[in-house]
Structure 1
């Protein structure tokens, strides 16, 4: 527990939907606890767990936020810092006998078994309070704010990212590029292999990457492979998106070759049981049922439809029948096909880069024979008139609303203006949108807006806004948001605050060393040749309110805006929506594949 209080152990188990009772699931848990109490487990498992926990501790200590929370928790427990920092030593001294003793002491018959069954309880509708919201004192400053502002600030020297000196680039082979970054903190390495193809170009990869997390090298078994992975002190995950297929490995530098070789054996000859594919189908079937139950998910699908039409990821994905028909061998071959494409490898650690390059060359045999454009940035639908898309969601008590407008082609030289506008217009509690809609009028639970830059230079930016509000406040909330878009208030007195925030936040936004090489790659694809802060800092220093107003007038004020609404039409005067643009009703079923 995070406080000076009693502890608690919670074991959560979900029985199989068909054929398993809650009581039998409970007995399975008790049987495993009995093994702990009697010592019926391999002592090597203890060492593997200790290694994993120690690695996790070292990685957590890389974060200043984690350290701050750790110290705050220690304070609440009346724990000294010296005692707190003894955690690694205490952890590594734990024996199998210690675990048996703890299990016998705390996991006896004195426990609460809480059963939760499926049901549909009657919901109590709470009436809205009759009082009016308090009027905020918009132009006044609190005593605390004055005190905080008076605290002298330290002028921290800005350290820019050097694209050439901060990473070591090695061309390993025709298809492999290696980027190495020094780990200045500990001996835990991270290796990220980004194969240059994703499920936008190979549809089955969306499911193949999930399945590969349950695969094992040919001639082995999943349990044996997982045990070998744990024995090497590493962990791995295989994931992907529309642009890339990624393999992530984290472990100790002292076991680098062993860890990478294990993953290499998996990738070279993966074996996958058909039952694991069936599990993926069952999980996807459940996810798709749940996604349409939540209005937020339907709203996200509607926004994707507005942006990309029939090319929306919700429509282009495999149908459930197609997923059910997938075979283990088919997914294995789809995954192995990523070797035909190049790979960018990002290593963070303390080994000789040439040694890392040699190990990667022997393990990841990407040929680069095939090429596709990465990252994938799809072209946006273009709109010539204001339009309102409405999806009826029966009995939805809230309306989920998005606003979309096409923007200009992205130029990294304009990023400072985008930052300033985003902060002024939609910047959390200091931005116009949240203040005017939520704080001053209590019309929404959430509200925000911003211009979104693409991942590639020259591709189109776009404006996105969102509101979550009670159904009966839908028209009123849209009216206020629309007025902000069409007649943005001029509050030039906020310029200094925006300027200071942008300048100060820039000094603290240097990428974490584990993310550095991937971030540099992403910046370069956006068109930056040096640290973006270097490009933007002078613009921040010379920022005038006119920069914000001019950006707004050029890119939003008179642009067609598309409004996406998912809500209950019986609680909304849909005729009123016509004043915001052409009204189009969309069936929910049109937004999703079968």
Structure 2
């Protein structure tokens, strides 16, 4: 499940297309290969919109850069159309659409069907029974009958077929008004894909339901542990009391999750999963004339039906601020939301622009007034557009010592500035220029193309409007924006959600039912699967990198320039890469943050932000443990100006004590917040597990060192950055020599490089006994990671590691997922990976993960430990894993600046060739015996460190001590401050 992300995106023209205020965007009609389609003139995606005879919408956007296709099968139905007495049903259904039909997923349909019918009826009894004793008896029958039915089921057969095709990212998501099934497939596998999908949507069978339902329970408990999710639910409930946006949640209520109805789910499917309510959206390497015929032939049997209309009472105006309070362990924050009309209205399009005027990352009102001036730890504004209504959402995080009321006041002050027109006159033009760059980037990627087309389809946005938006944007005036803001952003017409740090006393978790593990029949294969595997597919030849051929070399002064030429558009990306990081200097990451708040004698920090944004350019300094990268990107026409801006700032930035004091306050608050973040706590535990008490995670400034920071020291480090040896990477329209010539003039370099500061060394540890590292956190679930350092890096083992990971712990067709989730229903999320290091001097390491309900803690550890001790054998899954790796490699195309980073990664591994070629040559020679030997050598009977984040009220010390020496770490020791 996911909610539609809070994003801002406006469509503009790509380079090479004619774009002006006079350009006309219009729907046109054409016919090819016997099919009529519509298209929008000057559409950079060249998308074709078909409506088949049964009402099915097909949207095709061809781009041949990679031999792959991003495919979405989208249904215009989600939690908004859930029955009021069965909330969460659309999301249930999404999960069940992976379980097969009467043709696949079953060993013997004739024997399985009566048992599934019995389970249907038992759930209806369970749903209508209130007596707890009787409910337990009925559930016992459900569990028993489900175990019998599972003997005839083949778990994850859908995932095995998709993996065998070379698919990546098989998944689905449900939101308010969309349920979308997503696949990234090799273009050569499209016939197999369409055959499978047509069967999948023909008549799905809801088998292995009670274990999948338990996975949904786990997902619900994860949302109960998610403070952002609680804030979102509170916000929507207050904004939309009459619409199901606010009346129902996507995942449903605990009460409804406890009382599912398979018959209700089936009725929902036949009501909404009809062709006139669905769309197939594809972008990638295909001929649309051929593709549309294939899709029509496969989905012609779907029958058009009337779709139930969703009706609701219009929302009443908000007459005074509606306040909601949410509690949880995460840091405090504040959210303000204003209600707007739906996505396909003119006002919703203006709302996107308003969001960008407030927040665009560089020159928005929030960016300049609240972030640059360090009045808030973070602040952003974004448009959230849905079919019936939209919202402008403001989110702010306080700095240390600041109240949420002060956050509210500061953000509302910026709204007042917007209403008064107190923003730069050229900001709208700058937004348009930046979106020019953004659309070029989106059009490069077949996945982004498909995603944008899918979102427009499910939200009902006219694609012509999307394509024309850049021209419309250029016509909007500042007075129009001011009038619009004054119309909707009234002083009292909003919802405000206070997220307080503290115990949430309203959580009611979904309790663990008794579930007997079910059979997964790993070795079984349906005749349908065999027919899919037997279908021919056009062979695809892999393409390997040849570093000597694919990378251009030049010199800018004494600095090496590595370049890949961009022959597609006007985008450039430039990098200065230094072989030093936080291990060399703990001040370096602080200095990198400090730079954004500094100016020179001639320009302020705000001036630099505005200048970069006006050029549609940006810069960033990323500091890792041993690599620091300066990245600058934008349009090639502005290359010299963008580079000159950065060079001026880094060379001439001046100390600013007020900015440093503000940064110290920000850093202290950020550090406090990290201790309230379970993901950060787990990262600290895992670093401790690998390195011991002194480790990379806590290699940071102490509080005393932070207090003693000097502005002069940080600025001196910034001024000296280019004096250290570095490599320049360039991806853009120029060749290496032309780029190097410009860089030699604009990039400041010394005659002789200075030596890097001595790097701190960290030694990995391998305890000779199992340990349990525990951190207490107020949560419903328990997060468990198994961590162990392994043998030294060896490039020759890479193919075996690839096959092992794919077979054992990766993806839904792997052993870990099938066992922990599908068979035993112990987790929503689980995986296991053997991880190779980033450089040859470091050892490999292994990590396994289970996120489970606290009352399943022992079962989850037992389940994973059994797999780590004795890896189940399945030649069928080995075959699927080999096919997936081989076909993924055949269709993998490393392009653009990724070529440069692949080359540098190979160098760090001591290689001068594309390592994928070795894996491809070896993969078909490997078998189960190879990965079993690997498992027994590297994993079996080895002492692990368990890293556990859980509530000590739900997982006791006595339970933890059963698994090894218990170490309960103090957060100061864990974080280093």
The TM-score normalised by the length of structure 2 is 0.56
Deviation at 1:109, TM superposition (A): 6.6
CA distance 1:25–1:228, change in 2 (3 Å): closer
Alignment of 1:72-471 (within 5 A): 72-76=454-458, 84-96=466-478, 99-100=481-482, 102-103=484-485, 106-107=488-489, 111-116=493-498, 118=500, 120=502, 121-126=504-509, 128=511, 130-132=513-515, 135-139=518-522, 149=533, 152-174=536-558, 176-362=559-745, 363-365=747-749, 367-371=752-756, 378-383=762-767, 385-393=768-776, 396-471=779-854
Q: Determine if the alignment matches structure 1 residue 56 to structure 2 residue 441.
A: no
Deviation at 1:405, TM superposition (A): 2.2
Deviation at 1:90, TM superposition (A): 4.0
- Structure 1 stretch 68-77 or stretch 115-124: which is displaced more? 115-124
Between the aligned partners of 2:953 and 2:607, the Cα distance in structure 1 is: 58
Between the aligned partners of 1:109 and 1:369, the Cα distance in structure 2 is: 57
Between the aligned partners of 2:479 and 2:872, the Cα distance in structure 1 is: 69
* Matched residue, 2:858: 475
Q: Determine if the alignment matches structure 1 residue 537 to structure 2 residue 920.
A: yes
Between the aligned partners of 1:23 and 1:577, the Cα distance in structure 2 is: 43
* Matched residue, 2:871: 488
Q: Determine if the alignment matches structure 1 residue 69 to structure 2 residue 451.
A: yes
Alignment partner of 1:190: what SS?
strand
Deviation at 1:318, TM superposition (A): 0.4
Q: Determine if the alignment matches structure 1 residue 33 to structure 2 residue 415.
A: no
Between the aligned partners of 2:779 and 2:466, the Cα distance in structure 1 is: 49
- Structure 1 stretch 76-85 or stretch 61-70: which is displaced more? 76-85
Between the aligned partners of 1:396 and 1:83, the Cα distance in structure 2 is: 45
Alignment partner of 1:423: what SS?
helix
Contact 2:780/2:854 (8 A) holds in 1: yes
Deviation at 1:411, TM superposition (A): 1.8
* Matched residue, 1:525: 908
Between the aligned partners of 1:519 and 1:216, the Cα distance in structure 2 is: 35
Deviation at 1:46, TM superposition (A): 2.4
Deviations 1:499-536 (A, max 9, x none): 10001111333334132212211122113322222111
Between the aligned partners of 1:22 and 1:530, the Cα distance in structure 2 is: 53
- Alignment gaps of 5+ in structure 1: none
CA distance 1:42–1:403, change in 2 (3 Å): closer
Contact 2:517/2:825 (8 A) holds in 1: no
Between the aligned partners of 1:471 and 1:337, the Cα distance in structure 2 is: 51
Deviation at 1:432, TM superposition (A): 1.9
Deviation at 1:32, TM superposition (A): 1.5
CA distance 1:5–1:419, change in 2 (3 Å): same
Deviation at 1:189, TM superposition (A): 0.9
Deviations 1:141-188 (A, max 9, x none): 5798677656643322222212111111223333x2211111132101
Contact 2:572/2:731 (8 A) holds in 1: yes
* Matched residue, 2:228: none
Deviations 1:366-387 (A, max 9, x none): 543314799x98541133x222
Deviations 1:125-156 (A, max 9, x none): 33515453673543455798677656643322
- Structure 1 stretch 64-73 or stretch 358-367: which is displaced more? 358-367
Contact 1:388/1:565 (8 A) holds in 2: no
Provide the aligned length of Structure 1 versus Structure 2: 588
Contact 1:424/1:432 (8 A) holds in 2: yes
Alignment partner of 1:61: what SS?
helix
Deviation at 1:207, TM superposition (A): 0.7
CA distance 1:193–1:22, change in 2 (3 Å): closer
Between the aligned partners of 1:9 and 1:206, the Cα distance in structure 2 is: 34
- Alignment gaps of 5+ in structure 2: 1-342, 344-384
Contact 2:840/2:908 (8 A) holds in 1: yes
The TM-score normalised by the length of structure 1 is 0.89
